[in-house]
Amino acid sequence: MIGRIIILDEIDGRAAAAMIVDGVLEDFVIDPDGDMALPGAIYRAVADRPVKGQGGLFVKLPEGSGFLRQTAGIAPGQRLLVQVSGPAEDGKAVPVTLRLLFKSRFSIVTPDAPGINVSRRIKDDDLRQELTDLAVERMAGAPETLGLIVRSAAANADGEDVADDITSMRDLAIAVLADVDGGPELLIEGAGAHETAWREWSEPEPDETFEGGFADHSVPELLADLLQPRVDLVGGGHMMVEVTRALIAVDVNTGPDTTPAAGLKANIAAARALPRQLRLRGLGGQIVVDFAPMPKRDRAVLDQVLRAAFKSESEANLAGWTTLGLYELTRKRDRIPLRSLLPQGFGQ
């Protein structure tokens, strides 16, 4: 199907959402099984013992522990407001941060980061000024430590809807920041799959939104492809994405093409496909890419393609080439691996 569609459905009784653009699965989210803390959840926590060798400390949560890297000025027993910054790895504490964000569809309230900012994706100067004036009006009377980001989705929204969204997030932030007394407690739940789709995929506006319909749009088949290491590339090449305990290994192959430019063509196709594959598969951490053989002079071209491909990805660091000709990068672990979220035997 041509166009941008969003499908809200369920898998194994859990909410899930898919975004498909021109027949290609661009994003997918599903609620985890059980009581796992979702990224974005905000807790009142109690500081526990520091971990000197890891440069952080554990904090007590209502169920289990969190790990906080910011430790300056924190004493054991101190009450803290923390936000889950990513998924917990098996057997490890939930990663949390003191940097809270109150995020909604049109606005983000930023404690301890004052100022009014409008998304750089909004280019029209008059509209930027209009949204700035609206934000200043709605943030009037809020503590000076609260900042606000007006998101790009506000560009095509009704002004009253944007204003109400800002007011709601402002009031929520003020209430939560004042709730520091007591033991460990969940104050705000993290966004589930359907809320994430509503909040993060609204810009640009989808051509259609369906409630139910994964089977009608071949979503199970598209997900099953993501559980396989092989990724077919434009031009006939392919890459293998394989997970080890230490890192993610990516091997790029040219396929049947034997022309002198085959290596560069396959590598460019792999570089453009890699961010989407990592995002959909929920993979992050250290990534090592063994690109197909090509002349060293072509590395500059591939570097530009990689920078452009990862530009919109969250917290990706392109470290560069090793002496063995491998390419290293890191990507924030911001999702649970897809394989561990889908039911056992899915797609078989």
142 and 62 housed in the same domain:
no
Q: What is the pLDDT of residue 134?
A: 96
Question: What pTM does this model have?
Answer: 0.88
Tell me whether residue 188 is in a domain: no
Tell me whether residue 235 is in a domain: yes
Q: pLDDT digits over 272-298, tens only?
A: 999 999 999 999 999 999 999 999 999
Tell me whether residue 11 is in a domain: yes
Q: What is the pLDDT of residue 1?
A: 67
272 and 253 housed in the same domain:
yes
Q: pLDDT digits over 60-69, tens only?
A: 999 889 999 8
Give residues with Cβ within 8 angstroms of 154, minimum separation 6: 106, 107, 119, 122, 131, 162, 165
Checking if the pLDDT of 79 tops 90, the result is yes
Q: Where are the beta strands (DSSP E) in the chain?
A: 4-11, 14-21, 24-30, 42-51, 56-60, 65-68, 79-84, 94-97, 102-103, 107-111, 115-118, 146-150, 185-188, 208-211, 230-232, 238-243, 248-253, 285-290, 316-321, 327-331
Q: pLDDT digits over 93-152, tens only?
A: 899 999 999 999 999 999 999 999 999 999 999 999 999 999 999 999 999 999 999 999
Least confident range of 205-209, 222-226, 341-345: 341-345
Q: Report the chain's mean pLDDT, rounded to a whole number.
A: 93
Q: What is the pLDDT of residue 46?
A: 95
Point out which residues pair with 45 in neighbouring strands: 80
147 and 57 housed in the same domain:
no
Last residue of a domain, one of 122, 155, 180: 180
92 and 116 housed in the same domain:
no
Last residue of a domain, one of 80, 99, 118: 99
d(CA 1, CA 222): 14
pLDDT class of 90 with cuts at 50, 70, 90: confident
239 and 279 housed in the same domain:
yes
Tell me whether residue 10 is in a domain: yes
Tell me whether residue 51 is in a domain: yes
Q: The domain spanning residue 85 has which CATH number?
A: 2.40.50.140
pLDDT class of 70 with cuts at 50, 70, 90: confident
Total tally of structural domains belonging to the chain: 4
**Residue 105's closest CA among 152, 160, 146?**
152
Point out which residues pair with 8 in neighbouring strands: 17, 211
Tell me whether residue 294 is in a domain: yes
202 and 110 housed in the same domain:
no
Tell me whether residue 186 is in a domain: no
Average pLDDT over residues 227-241: 95
Q: What is the pLDDT of residue 348?
A: 58
Q: Which domain holds residue 264?
A: 227-341
Q: pLDDT digits over 318-327, tens only?
A: 999 999 999 9
Tell me whether residue 37 is in a domain: no
255 and 165 housed in the same domain:
no
